[in-house]
Structure 1
Amino acid sequence: MRPTLNIVGGGHVGRALGRLFARSGLFVIQDVMTRSLHSARHAVDFIGAGDPVHEIAALRHADVWMLAVADDQIAQVASALAKAGLVDGAVVFHCSGAKSSAELDAAARAGALAASVHPVRSFADPAAVAAAFDGTYCGIEGEPHALALLGAAFEAIGARLVPIDAAAKTVYHAASVFASNYLVTVLDAALRAYQAAGIEPEVARELARPLATETLSNVFRLGPESALSGPIARGDMATVARQQQAVTTWDEATGALYAALAEATTDLARRKRGGA
């Protein structure tokens, strides 16, 4: 008998993983609950399996529960499921990168086996994710028996599992923010600075593209110390000071960003030179 899976949350993550699990045949997709019956039906249509539900009273017992909800809703949903008597003996997991499995304490106290599985990738296009999930790294932590079941299920849909320290979950998620969100912010600053120099936006992107892509390639091929180049790596702090002043004069907020990055880059350059 295949285990039953209920999905709470029909956003990008819930839909993408739901479709993957439905196609794999690992679980019987049972109930899919979202805030409205309309959105639940859309989620079920995307997943290709399950029954749409929009209230906890309509949910059935399941062997596995995936809580694909916003971070600040995880504990609330877990508590509601526990109060409804739905999770005793079940595996309950969430997909947050910022919160640990401790967010599911209410469910654990009600007899559930709690865990978290966080796919490290963007879910902006759930259809594309479902079509090319193979090789996706997933940070996992939680109750060992829950991880045994979930680990096998995620590996079956192509995941690469990375055990993480639950106590360091927030720092772990911040790493992804640095690698993704803040990278966008830094590139936005670069593009705006090009435009401030009179360069058209389309041309600015083409100027930044080879610098950004080659630098990223070097970081992952050689490591950050070897990939670092530019005035700070050369020790040309006079140039850095002039740039700092010019950027601050142009845009004070971007100047503050430049200053913070210069300080961090100076530390990286010291490591590059083998300093303390």
Structure 2
Amino acid sequence: MQPTLNIIGSGHLAQTLGRLWQGHRSLELRDVLSRNAGNAKAACAFIGGGRPVDDYADLFAADITLIATPDDQIAGCCEQLAASGVIRPGTVVFHCSGALPSTVLAAAAERGALTASIHPIRSFASPEQVAQSFAGTWCGAEGDPAALAVLRPLFTGIGAQLVDIDPAAKTVYHAAAVFACNYLVTLLDVALQAYRHAGIPEAVAMQMMAPLVNKTVEQTFNAGTTAALSGPIARGDMATVATQQAAVTAWDADKGALYAMLAKETVALARRRTTER
């Protein structure tokens, strides 16, 4: 007999996971709850199943409940879920936040639920596209072992790769993804600003950067960060680094401070490479 699932939230992640599980017939989707009845209906239409509801009092009990709301609403939604009376001992309640630990689901745990968090490490900006390419997605998992024993097969069944994470370090874990993704984009934007300051049009700068960035990323994932490091610091040319830092600071003090901070981290990386060799 298939486990039953309720989803609280009707956003992109809720739609994508719901559609994947519906398509794989991994479970029986019961209710999709959203404060906006129209959003709940739209989510069910995209998923291809489920009953749209807009009130916790209308929820049927389910074996598993996914709270797929924005992070700042997860704890409050869990409290409302607990107050609704649909949680039974052994019910699994989980969320997919990368920043919050499973302990934010304490209200459900107090009612006998098994709580966990499984965080897919990718963007869900386009549910249609993600549903087609989800296989291979890494997911950070933590929480009650009994809850994870139920959830792991559901995620691996749609192609996810799970890695256990320490809930006490979850904020730093999530920051790692921000460094690797969001701040990488910001750093590339700073490079574009520097090129523009040097008189190079953005369109040309993008073409100049593309092979450099792509090759660097390729080398990093093929050989590791220490082996992929190149440039003046890797060569020990600190005079060039000092000249660049002064020039960048003269152009923009904040960018100069960022250059100095990155230079300090790069010196440490270069030292690690020397030690490894």
What is aligned with 1:228? 229
Q: Please report the RMSD computed on the Cα atoms of aligned residues, expressed in angstroms.
A: 1.2
Q: Counterpart in 1 of 2:32?
A: 32
Q: Give the AA of the match of 1:206.
A: Q
For residue 88 of structure 1, report the CA deviation from its aligned partner: 2.0
Paired with 1:70 and 1:126, the residues of 2 have a C-alpha distance of 16
Is residue 66 of structure 2 the alignment partner of residue 66 of structure 1? yes
Cα distance between partner residues in 2 of 1:255 and 1:33: 49
| 1:253, distance to aligned residue in structure 2 (A) | 2.0
Three-state SS of the structure 1 residue aligned to 2:275 is coil
The alignment-based identity, stated in percent, is 55
Equivalent in the alignment of 2:179: 178
Between the aligned partners of 1:63 and 1:118, the Cα distance in structure 2 is: 20
SS of the counterpart of 1:123?
A: coil
Which amino acid in structure 2 is aligned with residue 100 of structure 1? P
Q: Distance in 1 between matches of 2:258 and 2:43?
A: 40
Amino acid at match of 1:17: L
Matching residue's letter, 1:26: S
Tell me the amino acid that sits aligned with residue 187 of structure 2: V
Q: How far apart are residue 226 of structure 1 and its match?
A: 0.6
Aligned partner letter, 1:5? L
- Is 1:78 the equivalent of 2:78? yes
Aligned residue in 1 for 2:260: 259
State the secondary structure of the residue aligned to 1:273: helix
Q: Distance in 2 between matches of 1:34 and 1:255?
A: 47
Deviation at 1:86, TM superposition (A): 1.7
CA-CA distance at 1:104 after TM superposition = 0.6
Counterpart Cα distance in 1 of 2:13 and 2:126: 9
Task: Flag structure 2 segments of 5+ consecutive residues without an equivalent.
Answer: none
User: 266-275 vs 70-79, which deviates more?
Assistant: 266-275
TM-aligned CA deviation for residue 35 of structure 1:
2.5
Q: Does 1:129 align with 2:130?
A: yes
1:138 equivalent in structure 2:
139
Letter in 2 for 1:18: G
The residue identity in structure 1 corresponding to 2:86 is: L
The one-letter code of the counterpart of 2:165 is I
1:149 Cα shift?
1.1
Tell me which amino acid in the other structure corresponds to 1:132: S
- Report the CA distance shift for 1:153/1:252 in structure 2 as closer, same or farther (over 3 A): same
Q: TM-score, normalised by structure 1?
A: 0.96
Aligned residues: 275
Match of 2:165 in 1: 164
Aligned twin of 2:151: 150
Aligned to 1:15: 15
**1:98 matches 2:99:** yes
Structure 1 counterpart of 2:273, one-letter code: K
Is 2:197 aligned against 1:196? Answer: yes
Matching residue's letter, 1:258 = Y
Moved over 2 A (4+): none
Letter in 2 for 1:187: L
Q: Quote the Cα distance in structure 2 between the aligned partners of 1:241 and 1:55.
A: 62
- How far off is 1:155 after superposition? 0.6
Unaligned runs of 5+ in 1: none
- Report the Cα offset of residue 174 of structure 1: 1.1
